[in-house]
Amino acid sequence: MDDSFRLKKAQAIRSAGGQPYASSFERTHTLAEVKDLKEKKPCRVAGRVMLCRSMGKMTFLTLQDHTGRLQIALKEDITGSDAYKKALALLDLGDFVGITGERFTTQRGEPTVMTKEWTMLTKALRQPPEKWQGIKDQETAWRQRYLDLLSNRETFERFAFRSLFVRKLREYYWKNDFTEVETPVLVNAASGALAEPFGTHHNAYDLDMFLRIAPETFLKECLVGGFDRVFEVARCFRNEGLDPSHLQDFTMVEHYAAYWDFEMNMQFTEKMFSALIKNLLGTTKVKIPDREGKLVTVDFKAPWPRLTMRDAILKNCGIDIAKEESADRLRAAMKKKNIQLDVPVEKLGRGNLIDQLYKKVSRPLVVQPTFITSHPIDLSPLARRNDTDPSITDRFQLVVGGWEIVNAYSELTDPVDQAGRFEQQAKASAGGDKDAHRKDTEFVKALEYGCPPASGWGMGVDRIVALLTQQTNLRDVVLFPLMKPEKSSDDSVSPAASAPPLRELPSGNTDGMLLQHAEYGHLLPEAHRLLEAHTDQIKAHLLATGAAMEALAKKFGGDPATWKIAGLLHDLDWDKLAKNYEEHCGETLEHMLASVKIPQEVLADIRAHYAEKYGAQYPLDSMLRKCLYCVDELTGFIVAVALVRPSKKLFDMEVKSVMKKLKDKAFAAAVSREQIGKCEELLNIPLADFIQLTLDAMKGIADEIGL
């Protein structure tokens, strides 16, 4: 829409000697407060114009401020003819105005302010969204949060809740004799947790430095210096993968208490959460989303169950981590159980390997508030060794709804033991484990001066707020989440010149092969909409392929949402073509994708899987294309195998069943065994492993595909 008329109105106000951008306005009441005023009580209010209804000599506005909305009446015989006409001529939706008038109630019972005088406070030069879709339009909600806030009250209240949560948290600490402190964000050693840090350079010192992973070591140094109990609301940075439950920059609260152990900290945690949630929500029973997005009721009333990490993993996959004393043995045990993690495992040390295994097979299943305890020593380089079993630490994590909310332990105060563990972590780092803990000699020096017995604790603020406000993506509880820069709509360069940069595989993978030609994960909602609108019989196959491509992206380091889109849309035209294989991926598909402005890169990646027709034009020159080519036939084949089983379900299907049917050439004869088998050549994955990965991905959405 052309909003130039708004600029002309601003210029007209200036020409008449006015100011379209006021310096201030003396407000006597918020809009919510006006509703409680007595009739004919004078007031001065201000807000943004959200609605306007003109009825001849009377006009009704709806103003909005941080407390809500209120109706404003302008009547020509009260405001005066000139002022009334100026209002009609100059006011637009989105403008901020100041109103001087009296409180009254309309015949319909609507609290209203009758205007005596009005003042333009800010002239909005852009038209606000007319029919805002709120969080349904996630891309715009994240990029232009201000529009989301002003147009979606639920979003505004969510962030008001976050602010109140942090305020109540601080008050609870203060009541329990904790002192709030601040520690550095720029650090010489990226210490405090197992994670890959962000690097930066300090020009004045000419030093390579890091953004802190966690404030832990500095907070413990406060205890060395004599503080008894300290806490910090800290911004932290970890250069890790991005998914709905992980952000690279996030807010963490950490506290440390001298003379506590982890058992005392667990009791404190139960009391804190019970009190906070009861205070904020009026009950300890809360509905939260599980990992599938379904609302479930959890109860934060203490006490909570406790489960050791060893028992959790043993129960969920049959592997006893205590018996697998090396990373190699643990990898072998996982391979025997056909367990494939979501990250490359070849260079992980035993500690991180256990952590990834636990996150794969156990943590997603923990819904009610539960303490996970007794973490292995090589997973906890800063935690105190257990006095009875030196292979584990006095550590606990609070898990709720499949998310880790709190991590805590009895602190390691032995400087000799700490230095030795740093050395072990340094060796793991040298071996290629990017998440291994870095050496921190300054921290060891501090411990050598003596640190009292202590227990420390860290909580992800984003995660707990997301759970309590029923959000499944952390970006929805971060006001301004980091986003990739958006291409300017008025760029005049050619499409080829402005194409996204190509992403290469990490070193050590296939000969410089590209991961994908572009990232378009933000279009995932559009992909799902197309799927619902244009498919019927083929829908299960598309959902299955989308899930498998998402799993393959995690394995190879690609963008999961981007790969999933390719899987969801690759056969979108099949139902419309009535199995006309010659026309597949042609003009019909192009028209369907263009209807919602899906980029040409998507179409190119999809066409590449139809190698017989498009192989020369769109070669298999990226891992995305290779994976889609191989998995397309496999997902359809697995569906066919499931339908001939007695249960007609995936839950009891094993790899050997699929392998057996592949050998039966008469079964699903139209499926290309050769194309499936190309996984070993193109992806460097054994056929059995490729089937297992695909089968696991399909089992994860079995209900959606009716299997």
Span 95-109, pLDDT tens digits: 999 999 999 999 989
Q: Looking at residues 47-72, what average pLDDT do you find? A: 93
User: Would the CA dihedral through 309, 315, 317, 323 be positive or negative?
Assistant: positive
In angstroms, the CA 496 to CA 489 distance is 15
pLDDT digits 0-9 by tens, 419-448: 888 787 677 666 665 555 556 788 899 999
Using left for φ > 0, alpha for ψ between -120 and 50, and beta otherwise, residue 293 falls in left
Lowest mean pLDDT among 506-520, 558-572, 593-607: 506-520
Contacts of 79 (CB under 8 A, 6+ apart): 87, 115, 116, 117, 118
Q: Looking at residues 203-212, what average pLDDT do you find? A: 92
Residue 667 belongs to what H/E stretch? none
User: What single string gives the DSSP state of each residue in 93-128?
Assistant: TT-EEEEEEEEEE-TT--EEEEEEEEEEEE---SPP
Do 554 and 342 contact (CB within 8 A), yes or no? yes
- Which residues are registered as beta bridge partners of 694? none
Q: Judging by beta carbons within 10 Å of its beta carbon (0-12, 13-18, 19+), is residue 398 exposed, middle or buried?
A: buried
| Token output for 147 | 């529009």
The pLDDT value given to residue 37: 96
The pLDDT value given to residue 158: 96
Query: SS3 for 142?
Result: helix
Do 620 and 611 contact (CB within 8 A), yes or no? yes
Instruction: Tell me what percent of the residues of the chain surpass a pLDDT of 70.
Output: 90
The pLDDT value given to residue 605: 86
User: Would the CA dihedral through 238, 239, 244, 249 be positive or negative?
Assistant: positive
Check pLDDT > 70 for residue 132: no
The pLDDT value given to residue 254: 97
Q: Looking at residues 373-380, what average pLDDT do you find? A: 87
In angstroms, the CA 230 to CA 290 distance is 33
At 382, is the pLDDT very low, low, confident or very high (cuts 50, 70, 90)? confident
In angstroms, the CA 521 to CA 551 distance is 14
Q: Tokens 């152990």 map to which residue?
A: 261
In angstroms, the CA 242 to CA 248 distance is 7
Check pLDDT > 50 for residue 500: no
Rank 164-178, 385-399, 512-526, 592-606 by mean pLDDT and report only the highest: 164-178
Contacts of 325 (CB under 8 A, 6+ apart): 350
Q: Tokens 């009391």 map to which residue?
A: 271
| Token output for 625 | 């294309």
In angstroms, the CA 346 to CA 327 distance is 9
**Number of C-beta neighbours around residue 699 at 10 A:** 16
At 513, is the pLDDT very low, low, confident or very high (cuts 50, 70, 90)? low
User: What single string gives the DSSP state of each residue in 236-283?
Assistant: EE-----BTTB-SEEEEEEEEEET--HHHHHHHHHHHHHHHHHHHHSS
The pLDDT value given to residue 580: 65
Lowest mean pLDDT among 59-63, 189-193, 288-292, 522-526: 189-193
Lowest mean pLDDT among 247-256, 335-344, 540-549: 335-344
| Token output for 324 | 């697998």
pLDDT digits 0-9 by tens, 640-689: 888 888 888 888 888 988 998 898 888 888 888 899 998 888 888 889 98
Check pLDDT > 80 for residue 594: no
Torsion angle in degrees (nearest 10) through CA of 571, 574, 577, 582? 50
When the pLDDT of each residue in the chain is averaged and rounded to a whole number, the result is: 86
CATH of the structural domain 156-305+368-477, one choice from 3.50.50.60, 3.40.50.1820, 3.40.50.1970, 3.30.930.10: 3.30.930.10
The pLDDT value given to residue 229: 98
Q: Judging by beta carbons within 10 Å of its beta carbon (0-12, 13-18, 19+), is residue 673 exposed, middle or buried?
A: middle
At 579, is the pLDDT very low, low, confident or very high (cuts 50, 70, 90)? low
Residue 180 — φ and ψ, nearest 5°?
Answer: -80, 130
The pLDDT value given to residue 498: 37
User: What single string gives the DSSP state of each residue in 307-363?
Assistant: EEHHHHHHHHHS--TTT--SHHHHHHHHHHTT---SS--TT--HHHHHHHHHHHHTG
In angstroms, the CA 532 to CA 621 distance is 30
Q: Closest Cα to residue 405, out of 528, 269, 515, 512?
A: 269
Amino acid at 174: W
pLDDT digits 0-9 by tens, 326-346: 889 999 999 999 998 877 778
Q: Judging by beta carbons within 10 Å of its beta carbon (0-12, 13-18, 19+), is residue 706 exposed, middle or buried?
A: middle
Do 173 and 255 contact (CB within 8 A), yes or no? yes
Q: Which residue has the higher pLDDT, 263 or 594?
A: 263
In angstroms, the CA 684 to CA 376 distance is 33
The pLDDT value given to residue 518: 62
Q: DSSP letter at 646? A: S
Query: Kind of pairing, strands 306-308 and 370-373?
Result: parallel
Do 631 and 552 contact (CB within 8 A), yes or no? yes
What are the boundaries of each domain within the chain? 4-122, 156-305+368-477, 514-699
Do 498 and 487 contact (CB within 8 A), yes or no? yes
At 493, is the pLDDT very low, low, confident or very high (cuts 50, 70, 90)? very low
Q: Looking at residues 133-150, what average pLDDT do you find? A: 75
- Which residues are registered as beta bridge partners of 503? 516
Lowest mean pLDDT among 213-227, 430-444, 525-539: 430-444
Query: Kind of pairing, strands 96-105 and 111-122?
Result: antiparallel
Q: Looking at residues 551-558, what average pLDDT do you find? A: 84
CA triplet 508, 510, 516: central angle to 5 degrees? Answer: 110
Check pLDDT > 80 for residue 488: no
Amino acid at 60: F
**Could you tell me the strand order of the sheet in which 186-187 lies?**
186-187, 207-211, 199-202
Check pLDDT > 90 for residue 66: yes
The pLDDT value given to residue 504: 46
Do 98 and 106 contact (CB within 8 A), yes or no? no
Rank 63-72, 243-252, 344-353, 435-444 by mean pLDDT and report only the highest: 63-72
Check pLDDT > 60 for residue 507: no
Check pLDDT > 70 for residue 476: yes
Query: SS3 for 218?
Result: helix
Q: Closest Cα to residue 327, out of 348, 357, 356?
A: 348
Check pLDDT > 60 for residue 502: no
In angstroms, the CA 367 to CA 572 distance is 36
Check pLDDT > 90 for residue 585: no
- As its CATH architecture, domain 4-122 has Beta Barrel (2.40)
**Number of C-beta neighbours around residue 36 at 10 A:** 10
Lowest mean pLDDT among 57-66, 330-339, 493-502, 575-584: 493-502
Q: What is the CA radius of gyration of the chain?
A: 30
**Number of C-beta neighbours around residue 45 at 10 A:** 24
| Token output for 382 | 């800063």
Taking CA atoms, 399 is separated from 170, 284, 306, 322, 371, in Å, by 22, 16, 10, 22, 6
Helices 350-361, 309-317: crossing angle, 10 deg rounding: 60
Do 604 and 622 contact (CB within 8 A), yes or no? no
| Token output for 583 | 């026309």
At 315, is the pLDDT very low, low, confident or very high (cuts 50, 70, 90)? very high
Check pLDDT > 50 for residue 508: no
Do 607 and 579 contact (CB within 8 A), yes or no? no
Binning the chain into helix, strand and coil, the percentages to the nearest 5 are 40, 20, 40
- CA atoms in the 13 A half-sphere facing the CB of 645: 19
Diameter of the chain measured on Cα atoms: 89
Query: SS3 for 442?
Result: helix
Contacts of 2 (CB under 8 A, 6+ apart): none
Lowest mean pLDDT among 92-96, 134-138, 548-552: 134-138
At 90, is the pLDDT very low, low, confident or very high (cuts 50, 70, 90)? very high
In angstroms, the CA 247 to CA 1 distance is 35
| Token output for 178 | 């904790």
Check pLDDT > 90 for residue 297: yes
| Token output for 536 | 């019927």
In angstroms, the CA 621 to CA 305 distance is 51
pLDDT digits 0-9 by tens, 445-468: 999 999 999 999 999 999 999 999
The pLDDT value given to residue 432: 63
